[in-house]
Amino acid sequence: MAAVIETQRLTKTYGSHRGISEVDLTVMEGEAFGFLGPNGAGKTTTIRTLLDHLRPTSGRAMVFGIDTTVDPVAIHRRLGYLPGEFALYDKLTGGQTIEYFANLRGNVDHAYQQQLIERLDVDPSRKFREYSKGNKQKVGLVIALQHRPELLLLDEPTSGLDPLVQQEFYAVIREAKDEGRTIFMSSHILSEAERTCDRVAIIREGRLVRTDRVAALRDMAHHQVELRFAGDAPRAQFEGLPGVSELHDEDGTLTMRVNGPITPVVKAAAQYELLDFVSREPTLEETFLAEYSPTTAAAQAEATDER
């Protein structure tokens, strides 16, 4: 399988403002790739650089093996894009807008275009300025999908969509993936990436901090364990166990955070008479926020400095 997107030390700065810094990404053909990060992390800058809307300050970006700055038109011919925010012609109807983009691209399958319009419940007779944000987003989705592109670049695609249309959108994406097309989707909603993507990359403050399979992200997850003992809590038995931290002892109850496998804690607890055993696994969303929130980042940086 070939790499559809490949960036090497891709950097973009806006004068003194940070954009992205030394981003290395590889997205393989047929893959659904989630690009996650909080607002302002650099997701849109990365996507706009892939489209050649922005020129890299240093490093390079290749799409379909073509340098984005050398032949962007050849790349555009094979991709569909939905920006996070966009404007189109207020005077045109939704149908005329979709038609205009079809004309700019050429070779659009009008039956498939019509099918998309119906599935996404777009009213093509209304003027673009009369659409709600969600309906504009739906028109944008039809424009991005109507020519059956090999690569879909979607910047926060479900923003503004109601839950029913979101479901339809996920179905369309699944179909695209089943047909072997590549999907690169930015989001700050982890659950969205979790249900749609094979792999995700996490970007924070312009730098890529992690790239992994969605399943592997779950390793970041931890368990919040609460043990209520019949007698005094045997705190010392748990202090040295692998992955255990934040141990607290109060009125015969031990609370702790367990990173990684929970088995050693279960085995240790089994040696005592327990009144209750509670283990809660935070959602991936909570884990992500805990791991990559600015406060955590600051704490990590401080710890690094101290070392």
Partner 1 sequence: MSADAGALAVAVRIPLRARILGFGSLFGKTLRDSRRAILIVGGFCALMALISAAFVGTTWPTVADRAEGVALTTTLPAIFTGLYGGSAVNADGIGGFTNWRYGLIFFLMPGIWSIIALSGTLVGEVRRGSMDLVAASAMSRGRIAVEKVGAHVAAMAIAMLIVALAMWGSSMALGTLPADEIPLADALSYALLMGLSGLAAGGVAFALAPFVGRGGAGGIAALWLVGSWIINGYRESVPIFETLAPSSFFNWSVGHRPIAGLDDPIGLLWPALIALGGITIGVVAFARRDLGQVGALRLPSLPGWVLGTTGPLRRTLGERVGAITAWGLGIGVYALIIATTSQDLSLMIEENPSLAEIFRVAFPNVDLADPGFALQLLFVQFGTLAIGFATAALVGGWASDESEGRLELLLTTPVARPRWAILTGLGTYVAILGVAVIVALATAIGVTLTGQDALTATVGTLVLGLHGMAAAGVGLAVGGLFRPSWAAPAVVVLVVAWLLIDILAPLLELPDWVGDLVLASHYGEPMIGAWDPVGVVAALMVAVVGLGLCAIGLGRRDLRG
Residue for token pair 């209304």: 126
The correct pick among 5, 10, 27, 51 for binding partner 1 (CB under 8 A) is: 51
Determine, following the binding rule CB under 8 A, whether residue 94 of this chain makes contact with partner 1: no
Q: Which of residues 62-91 bind partner 1 (CB under 8 A)?
A: 72-74, 76-77, 79-81, 83, 85-89, 91
Using the contact rule CB under 8 A, the part of the chain among 104-112, 225-233, 254-262, 289-297 near partner 1 is 104-112
Q: Which member of 105, 174, 207, 228 binds partner 1 (CB under 8 A)? A: 105
Sign of CA pseudo-dihedral 201, 189, 196, 41: negative
Phi-psi label, residue 94: left if phi above 0, alpha if psi -120 to 50, beta otherwise: alpha
With contact defined as beta carbons under 8 Å apart, do 139 and 150 qualify? no
Sheet with 244-250, side-by-side order of all strands: 244-250, 253-259, 222-229, 274-280
Site for partner 1 in 149-208 (CB under 8 A): 153
Stretch that binds partner 1, among 29-37, 52-60, 112-120, 247-255 (CB under 8 A): 52-60
CA–CA separation, 111 and 290 (whole Å): 46
The residue (of 99 and 123) whose beta carbon lies closer to partner 1 is 99
Read off the tokens for 34.
Answer: 């989630």
Q: Judged by CB under 8 A, how many residues of this single chain contact partner 1?
A: 33
Q: State the Cα–Cα distance between residues 61 and 50, nearest whole angstrom.
A: 6
Q: Does 55 bind partner 1 (CB under 8 A)?
A: yes
How far from 37 is each of 33, 45, 155, 204, 241, CA to CA, in Å?
13, 12, 12, 6, 33
Exposure letters 207-222 (e unless 16+ CB within 10 A, then b): ebbbbeebeebeebbb
Judged by beta carbon, residue 104 or residue 299, the one nearer partner 1 is 104
Spell out, one character per residue from 117 to 156, where the chain touches partner 1: x when CB under 8 A holds, - when not.
----------x------------x--x---------x---
Q: Which of 6, 32, 48, 62 is in the footprint of partner 1 by CB under 8 A?
A: 48
Nearest-angstrom CA–CA distance, 137 and 143: 10
DSSP state of 185: E
**Binds partner 1 (CB under 8 A): choice among 103, 271, 295, 304:** 103
Q: Which stretch binds partner 1 (CB under 8 A): 48-56, 216-224, 231-239, 261-269?
A: 48-56
Q: Is 92 in the site for partner 1 (CB under 8 A)?
A: yes
List interacting residues with partner 1 (CB under 8 A).
48, 51, 53-55, 72-74, 76-77, 79-81, 83, 85-89, 91-92, 96, 99-101, 103-106, 127, 140, 143, 153
